[in-house]
Structure 1
Amino acid sequence: MADSSEESNRKGGHVGPDTQDPTLQPLDALSDVSESSSEVQEAKRVEVVTKGWCSSSSGYHSGIGTSEVSHGELVAYDVSLTCEEISDENDDSDWDEEEWPVDRPLPLPEWGCERPELNFGNLSQYESFIIHIQEHLHKALATQCYDTVSNFVVFGEEYVSQREEYPCLDEFYRDYDPPMLPGRYTCVGLACDLATKLSTLEAQYPGLKDATYQVSCEEEIDNVDWYCSTGVPPISTCEKEHVLVCIRIRISDRPGMLLLDPGYHVGEPITVMEDGLYPQSGIIRANTTKSNIIRTYQYHYIQDNPAFVVWEVLEERDGEVIHEHTSLIHTARPFLSGIDVAERRNLAYPFKTLLGREHTGKLKCGLYFPLRECSQTNITFFHYLDGLPHHTRVPLLYFAKSKDNADEEGMISPTVEAILATVANGSYRSIDDLRATLESLASLLQDQDFLEQLAQLDKAIDSISKDN
């Protein structure tokens, strides 16, 4: 699971580590970025009402709560990230030992019953269907960012506020019920949101809703044959850090799967046929933040075991292979633990990203950083200027003071403010909103005890899948 490239796919990462890149410029070297943010327009904002989108979690409930997946256009989460306390009377935090063994850092994953197929009489019908699916996928990519920063900040601030009751992070982590933050989704929320929007095609394609479900993915598998030796993943070694949308299909009596992966910014529907023949998808060019990295994906069924789809990842730089790995998608049954396992695992993952995408999945702007103590953390911002990618490292300490206080002390950089406005605009939030998140992050990462416990938790989770 160690990073092996400039832009790694290490489990749950979705973007690369904070390593040197030829396009990366330190703050004081970036002279070609406009110092004015007046040309950057704030994204369209819509009112979001958080309602009870059902989670299978059993634990501490934040005041934010889980959310109803959105049907809106550009979605922005514009309420305080501070959660209200919940009384002990509403605490249902007890996990059964069979659901979450006491010596395991994550709950055991659960799967539902096999879903029916969506049948197509011929290829022409399926090709028309794919056009409709791609329209919804493109809209989802263009209107939803990928965000693992916001849920981490909420989680961290909740723990700090509850430290008297939970001196040990492990205990709080077990009781915490991760919320879905509208407009600030990880792969879990993005998959759920897309699946809900696809349900509008039910009238045109009866049976689509029943054939559509979330599926789990285990990333970077070494022992593929062992992992796929039965019809279900080896539960005791599952991390299940990624989820996708799956539609079970049959075309002229030929079985297959249609996969959609908004969490990895895949801009086209992925067709995987058991016989490997058309309309089986070929090699798909993936999206990265680095112009000198070429990443490709390829998918196919495991031979003699249609319960799994192989996802092969290849990365090249200057024509040389720099990294390759195999991930496995369990497509046979719906994954019921998206929030309990995948979202929860993401909270402890030591690399965070916020990414704005175009409708094709191309990454247009964003930021990323490893989790370190505040004084040692640099936020890498990236955006496009005159069609060229620009990366700028900004010390997190820049956001350790409020803008008003920093302005009074003459510590505001027009260059950073312009970049911040660009990234905020591209991730569908206001500059004040993004700044508030980074200020909260700076405060949180000054808590050495929290960081040490978080690193231990991440290490324990990593150990679950060490033999995969």
Structure 2
Amino acid sequence: MLLKTINYDSVTNFIELYDQYKKNNHLSFEDFFRKYIPTLNKNANNCVGLALLLIEKLKQFDDRYSGIKNCFYLVSCEINLQSFDKYENTEYPCPWLSVNEHIMVALKIEIDGRVGVLLLDPGYPLDRVITVMNDQEYPNTGHFLSSTNPEEVYLIEMIMQGKYLQWSIYDESNLKETNLIYIGAPYLSPISVTERRNLVFTYRFFFSLSEKGENLSGIFAKIDEHILCLYYIDEDYPKEKQIIKLTPELFSSVNQLNSDIKKTLDRISHHLKISSKELWNILTKLNHIIEDEQFLDSLCKINNDIQNLNSGK
């Protein structure tokens, strides 16, 4: 239900970052970003906000299972690692080498002496609770399909004496990506580290989801490549995502929009539960940011520097 009622949004807080920077334009973006304190907006949630909201909702189970509200905890995830070498001989992930791009919710379990963990990820999103048992026996989830990309298959396994989970993503039969989830201790820096890191990613999403985690419609921006798109699932062709690339010329006047674009705005704004005018204002702001070369150069440099901190990538 959380996926259906709340949008995934990495756009709103990004726009807030840009607006605050422009108000302090006597600083370089690097200096500004170093001092910037990220804030969460209850109506604009990426993986950080969604995970925190989910933990709050899960506390309701305490009425039925006393004490369970204290058992759910946040876990950090390193995305697209090439090697696990630097994690194997340390008790905890090194904060100077861990980027912590993503967070999830976990609950450790034990069944007749067999250890495991339940994993919930509203931010990727995963549309189910994943059960990972150390012995890979029932009720271990094993391989499962992505809810957002039917070509992808996921496998999450416990490794390194149960301190980590290896999350492998396969495209058909080929290994596409390997992620590492630390479950050995609660993750305590979701806003100061993960939210901050997410602010300088070069891609932005704002989309609505179904209860099954299906991506219904929204905005996609690849800001370093000056790409801004609308997309939606056509009810007549549900397996095909309709993508409309927006050019800078479209933003010269809202009155110049053709009827197809206006219909698309109406369709997507309905899914996002905002007005067409609000959606257009967001798109206009993103287009303005994409055209700000000085800002983009500075942001891309920080993004690259963070990636280079992690030599395992």
Q: Which bracket does the TM-score occupy, shorter chain normalised?
A: over 0.9
Report SS of the residue matched to 2:180. Answer: strand
Provide the residue aligned with 1:156 in structure 2: 18
* Selected match of 2:200 from 348, 370, 384: 348
Q: Give CA deviations for 1:407-462 in whole Å, capped at 9, x if unaligned.
A: 1xxx1111111111222221222222111111111222222111111111111111
* Selected match of 2:246 from 395, 398, 402: 395
Provide the residue aligned with 2:162 in structure 1: 306
Report SS of the residue matched to 1:177. Answer: coil
Provide the residue aligned with 2:152 in structure 1: 295
Distance apart, 1:340 and its partner CA: 0.9
Task: Mark the CA change 1:222 to 1:390 in structure 2 (over 3 Å): closer, same or farther.
Answer: closer
| C-alpha distance in 1 between matches for 2:80 and 2:20 | 31
- Identity of paired residues, percent? 28
Provide the residue aligned with 2:233 in structure 1: 383
Structure 2, unpaired ranges of 5+ = none
The answer to whether structure 1 residue 430 and structure 2 residue 275 are counterparts is yes
The answer to whether structure 1 residue 449 and structure 2 residue 294 are counterparts is yes
Distance apart, 1:331 and its partner CA: 0.5
Distance apart, 1:327 and its partner CA: 0.7
| C-alpha distance in 1 between matches for 2:82 and 2:41 | 34
Provide the residue aligned with 2:133 in structure 1: 273
Report SS of the residue matched to 1:435. Answer: helix
Q: Give CA deviations for 1:233-292 in whole Å, capped at 9, x if unaligned.
A: 132211100000011222233221111011112111011112221111121211336xxx
Provide the residue aligned with 1:246 in structure 2: 106
Distance apart, 1:379 and its partner CA: 1.6
The answer to whether structure 1 residue 413 and structure 2 residue 275 are counterparts is no
Q: Give CA deviations for 1:360-399 in whole Å, capped at 9, x if unaligned.
A: 11111122121047xx434242322314323222324255
Q: Give CA deviations for 1:7-32 in whole Å, capped at 9, x if unaligned.
A: xxxxxxxxxxxxxxxxxxxxxxxxxx
CA contact (8 A) 2:147 2:212 kept: no
* Selected match of 2:222 from 353, 370, 374: 370
Provide the residue aligned with 1:101 in structure 2: none
Report SS of the residue matched to 2:245. Answer: strand
The one-letter code matched in structure 2 to 1:265 is: P
Report SS of the residue matched to 2:302. Answer: helix
Question: What stretches of structure 1 move > 4 A for 4+ residues in a row?
Answer: none
| C-alpha distance in 1 between matches for 2:88 and 2:53 | 29
The one-letter code matched in structure 1 to 2:205 is: T
Structure 1, unpaired ranges of 5+ = 1-138
How many residues are treated as equivalent by the alignment? 312
CA contact (8 A) 2:132 2:142 kept: no
Report SS of the residue matched to 2:163. Answer: strand
The structure with the largest helix share of the pair is: 2
Report SS of the residue matched to 1:178. Answer: coil
| C-alpha distance in 2 between matches for 1:308 and 1:228 | 10
| C-alpha distance in 2 between matches for 1:461 and 1:279 | 38
Task: Mark the CA change 1:341 to 1:153 in structure 2 (over 3 Å): closer, same or farther.
Answer: same
| C-alpha distance in 1 between matches for 2:190 and 2:304 | 21
Distance apart, 1:341 and its partner CA: 1.0
Say which structure, 1 or 2, has more relative contact order (CA 8 Å, 6+ apart).
1
The one-letter code matched in structure 1 to 2:32 is: F
Provide the residue aligned with 2:116 in structure 1: 256
| C-alpha distance in 2 between matches for 1:150 and 1:336 | 23
Report SS of the residue matched to 2:30. Answer: helix
CA contact (8 A) 2:250 2:257 kept: no
**TM-score after normalising by structure 2:** 0.94
CA contact (8 A) 1:284 1:298 kept: yes
Provide the residue aligned with 1:129 in structure 2: none
Provide the residue aligned with 1:339 in structure 2: 191
CA contact (8 A) 1:383 1:422 kept: no
For residues 28-43 of structure 1, the aligned pairs below 5 Å read none
Distance apart, 1:464 and its partner CA: 1.1
Pick the structure with greater CA Rg.
1
CA contact (8 A) 1:188 1:339 kept: yes
CA contact (8 A) 1:380 1:393 kept: yes
CA contact (8 A) 1:285 1:297 kept: yes
Report SS of the residue matched to 2:242. Answer: strand
Provide the residue aligned with 1:67 in structure 2: none
The one-letter code matched in structure 2 to 1:397 is: P
Report SS of the residue matched to 1:421. Answer: helix
| C-alpha distance in 1 between matches for 2:62 and 2:17 | 36
Provide the residue aligned with 1:181 in structure 2: 41
**TM-score after normalising by structure 1:** 0.64
* Selected match of 2:55 from 183, 190, 195: 195
| C-alpha distance in 2 between matches for 1:440 and 1:367 | 13
| C-alpha distance in 2 between matches for 1:171 and 1:396 | 32
Task: Mark the CA change 1:269 to 1:395 in structure 2 (over 3 Å): closer, same or farther.
Answer: same
For residues 112-127 of structure 1, the aligned pairs below 5 Å read none
